[in-house]
A = this chain, B = another copy of it.
Amino acid sequence: MPADVAIIMGSQSDWPTMRHAADILDELDVGYRALIVSAHRTPDRMYEFARSAKADGYKVVIAGAGGAAHLPGMVAALTPLPVLGVPVRSKALSGKDSLLSIVQMPAGIPVGTLAIGEAGAANAALMATAILALSDDALAARLDSWRAARTASVAEQPSDED
């Protein structure tokens, strides 16, 4: 299975968040690779990754980072591929800094930004899937099933049990 999606993150500490993206891609049978690429600590690695991402066969990049989160925007500056950004929750500001650093990109370089934290990571994977499904009917069918199953799983009434 080729890796259509790259899940990159600034550090090992982002993995507990970003693995929610990997889990969804596993469920939907979408190929991906998860890599640590730090804009600040490994800027050369980032350049190389971003500059060759398209030639390497990736179609969508999911980038997660926290605090002054520059990874998604910098990768978007260096590749024409669609880049999805996941603001990882930060210690002091709970991800508000991550969110603004990722979403407030100037005109010209877009980053499709998802919610802060685990929900955002899961949704980045679903968004990547929706993008890939535009030219993959089988994947589109799997995504439809996933969504339908999720709808069907919602109980009618709240339960006091949990």
Contacts and interface: CB of A to CB of B under 8 A. Distances in A.
A158 B155 CA distance: 36
Nearest to A72: B68
Interface residues of A, number: 89
Contacts of A3: none
A68 B156 contact: no
B140 A116 contact: no
Contact of A100 (B82, B91, B97, B157): B97
B96 A36 contact: no
Given A10-B106, A12-B155, A69-B101, 20 more contacts: A12-B162, A14-B158, A15-B162, A19-B158, A39-B70, A40-B73, A43-B74, A68-B101, A68-B104, A70-B101, A74-B74, A80-B140, A82-B127, A89-B91, A92-B104, A105-B114, A109-B126, A110-B123, A110-B124, A112-B114
